Amino acid sequence: MEGRFKKGLGVLCVCVIFLFTGCIATEDYVKKSENRSILPHRATKTDWGNLDERLTNLEDEFQMMQASFVGAKTYIFGARTVPGGGAGTGAIDDIADASITDEDACLLADHANLRFLAYSWLDASASAESYPDVIKPDDSGNGGRWHQLALVTKTGTDPDVGLIGEFTHDTDGANETGDESLRGYDGSNQFCWARKLKCIHTTVIAPNDLADGTRDACPIWSNETGMTFTITKIEAWSDTDDTELNVEEEDADGANNTTVDALNIQTDGTGMYYTTETTITGATIEANHIILLDFDDTDEPGWVKVSICGWFDSNVD
């Protein structure tokens, strides 16, 4: 079943009021006529003629008002069934093509999947039908399709959330460069549903005590997500000054070893040394590739901690 909201309601009310006013005027005419009988007075042709003229003028005004809305109005349809329901079922593809204009909208309740979908009509679209992304009306020719709209939540740099089940989009995460997050609420606290940046953490104790082959290629992570991982920052700490190492990557079979970035841990801290790198030499870690650490053979740190942060490219077919 399709529903349509029109802006002529206000005009209809005016029309009713005008008609009522016309009847009052006719009654007033009756009372002032020479016929003072208490019997019902039959309105003359002149009486109704004046009312007809008023209604004709009102109709002209209504048509002018309708014309003023053309190009500025957007109708919102409602559908209770997904495509394929057939005629008279309230399916979205049962909405008559001729009744839809460019940029109209439709709200669809997909009961089978317990979800709510929004669509916008594009007159120029001839895209192939593919539910839920694109819907073609049953009576459509080559032009015009319903295209799914994204339902956007509250967004900002500090979008507070205070209702259980609600979530908001924090565009700068927790003020980490390049980060974003989704906030939720548990009834007492705002918590992080998800964040854009993901971090890999590893700590190696006495790396110089490792066998030569392990010290030169110590695996710490493999990308098993099916997505490409892009590194945006590497941080490292050590208990000794000028600790040098390379972050490297290679194929799953150990072939094609390349340098991700070279690190020199030399900034003085309190009881430790540290470094931060945001210009990464080889930032892209493909799916199924391995990240390794290659320690300098002459350094003898007691421990080294490395954190590698980045994001996954989810644009995967």
- Give me the CATH number covering residue 274: 2.60.120
Q: Find the range with the poorest average confidence among 131-140, 253-262, 273-282.
A: 131-140
**Cβ distance 97 to 144 under 8 Å?**
yes
Query: Are residues 306 and 205 part of one domain?
Result: yes
Query: Are residues 89 and 50 part of one domain?
Result: no
What is the rounded end-to-end Cα distance, in angstroms, of the chain?
Answer: 35
Q: Which residues, listed in sequence order, are joined to residue 268 by a DSSP beta bridge?
A: 273
Residue 16 has pLDDT above 70, yes or no: no
Residue 18's pLDDT band, with cuts at 50, 70 and 90, is very low
Domain that holds residue 267: 198-313
Would residue 3 count as lying in a domain?
Answer: no
Number of domains in the chain: 4
Query: Are residues 306 and 209 part of one domain?
Result: yes
Task: Convert the pLDDT of each residue in 234-244 to its tens digit.
Answer: 999 999 999 99
Task: Convert the pLDDT of each residue in 51-90 to its tens digit.
Answer: 555 545 555 554 444 444 445 567 889 898 888 877 777 8
Residue 178's pLDDT band, with cuts at 50, 70 and 90, is very high
Query: Are residues 127 and 54 part of one domain?
Result: no
Residue 66 has what pLDDT?
Answer: 43
Mean pLDDT of the chain: 81
Would residue 275 count as lying in a domain?
Answer: yes
Would residue 302 count as lying in a domain?
Answer: yes
Residue 37 has pLDDT above 70, yes or no: no
Query: Are residues 99 and 64 part of one domain?
Result: no
Residue 277's pLDDT band, with cuts at 50, 70 and 90, is very high
Query: Are residues 44 and 98 part of one domain?
Result: no
Q: Average pLDDT in the 4-27 region?
A: 38
Query: Are residues 141 and 175 part of one domain?
Result: no
Would residue 4 count as lying in a domain?
Answer: no
Q: Average pLDDT in the 138-158 region?
A: 85
